């Protein structure tokens, strides 16, 4: 790890990344892409040591409360969080000022902050997002080696359900010739149904590859799935969007299952839900974008 003093904390839509880089080791990670301009080794985590103070200062200046998002680029519950606790400090600030939160992770470390999440949700709205890609636990260890297992993440979703905290599942990416099967998709959907998730985000049955993450992905294909890299190169070349041959079939299953179980499935609809601030005491809804 290395520490920096960041100049700012928010993106244009009130999103923040408390860390840059990751040690989860997911073989498909888009955040490795060179286009994001990360000028350090991906596993050498950049820690914004002044993130809590930047957040405190920024929220004091907000004229209207809104939803604060985190986890889009770097997981807020990487292993370092246990020691540094920057994520927890930021959640305490969000809770203190009465703002909402949407947080994305693959780790059950989020349970450490359950009481904070409940308090945020009691005042405004807290949405916990969890990525689920692989129902098969052994395959999960290969694709996402250093994170909580799919079953452990499923347990997190149920705990959030039992505590009245809404959840959203990212059912993405789904890797062609690896986990793009009906059994895999139905297994994950059954978890979502049991956990009573509010929404599912799925952009398509496939994965995106570009300079930076493509090389890391292919390196892992060579390591774990012999001969599959050559199959990818032959079929997809250097395409950014790598779509599964089972795309239409599996998307139909997802949409039908969501409709049957009252789960929001449209990407725009899910994001609109997550980005709408709800002040519980006054029953006022405010736009995410201010």
Q: What is the mean pLDDT of the chain?
A: 95
| Percentage, residues of the chain above pLDDT 70 | 97
Residues 6+ apart with CB under 8 A from 100: 65, 66, 67, 68, 94, 120, 124, 125, 126, 277, 278
Residues 6+ apart with CB under 8 A from 226: none
The count of other CB atoms within 10 Å of the CB of residue 44 is 12
Domain covering 2-286 in this structure, CATH number: 3.20.20.70
pLDDT surpassing 60 at residue 255? yes
Q: Answer whether 2's CB lies under 8 Å from 47's CB.
A: yes
pLDDT surpassing 80 at residue 76? yes
pLDDT surpassing 90 at residue 115? yes
pLDDT digits (tens, 9 = 90+) for 120-150: 999 999 999 999 999 999 999 999 999 999 9
The secondary structure of 109-136 as a DSSP string is: GGGGGHHHHHHHHHHS-EEEEEE---SS
pLDDT surpassing 90 at residue 285? no
Parse the chain into domains and list their residue ranges. 2-286
pLDDT surpassing 90 at residue 283? no
Report CA Rg, the chain: 19
pLDDT surpassing 70 at residue 119? yes
- Predicted local distance difference test score (pLDDT) of residue 281: 63
Q: Report the half-sphere exposure of 51 (CA within 13 A, side-chain side).
A: 25
Element (H, E) at 88: helix 86-97
At residue 279 the predicted structure's pLDDT band, cuts being 50, 70 and 90, is confident
pLDDT digits (tens, 9 = 90+) for 172-183: 999 999 999 999
- Predicted local distance difference test score (pLDDT) of residue 280: 77
**Cα–Cα dist 76/78, whole Å:** 6
pLDDT digits (tens, 9 = 90+) for 86-101: 999 999 999 999 999 9
- Predicted local distance difference test score (pLDDT) of residue 73: 87
At residue 12 the predicted structure's pLDDT band, cuts being 50, 70 and 90, is confident
């Amino acid at each position: 790890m290395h520490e920096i003093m960041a100049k700012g904390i928010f993106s244009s839509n009130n999103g923040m990344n408390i860390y840059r880089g990751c040690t989860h080791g997911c073989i498909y990670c888009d955040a490795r892409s060179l286009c994001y301009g990360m000028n350090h080794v991906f596993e050498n985590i950049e820690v914004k040591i002044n993130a809590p103070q930047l957040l405190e200062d920024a929220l004091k200046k907000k004229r209207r409360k809104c939803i604060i998002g985190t986890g889009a680029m770097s997981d807020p519950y990487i292993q370092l969080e246990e020691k540094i606790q920057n994520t927890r400090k930021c959640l305490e600030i969000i809770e203190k000022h009465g703002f909402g939160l949407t947080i994305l992770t693959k780790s059950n470390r989020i349970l450490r902050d359950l009481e904070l999440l409940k308090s945020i949700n009691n005042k405004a709205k807290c949405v916990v997002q969890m990525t689920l890609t692989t129902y098969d636990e052994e395959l999960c260890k290969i694709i996402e080696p250093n994170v909580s297992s799919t079953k452990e993440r499923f347990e997190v979703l149920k705990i959030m359900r039992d505590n009245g905290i809404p959840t959203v599942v990212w059912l993405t990416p789904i890797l062609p010739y690896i986990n793009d099967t009906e059994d895999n998709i139905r297994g994950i959907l059954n978890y979502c149904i049991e956990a009573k998730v509010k929404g599912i985000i799925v952009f398509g049955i496939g994965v995106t590859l570009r300079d930076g993450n493509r090389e890391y992905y292919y390196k892992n294909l060579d390591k774990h799935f012999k001969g599959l890299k050559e199959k990818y190169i032959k079929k997809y070349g250097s395409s950014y969007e790598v779509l599964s041959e089972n795309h239409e079939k599996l998307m139909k299953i997802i949409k039908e299952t969501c409709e049957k179980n009252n789960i929001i499935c449209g990407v725009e609809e899910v994001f609109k839900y997550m980005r709408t601030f709800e002040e519980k005491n006054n029953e006022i809804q405010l736009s995410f974008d201010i």
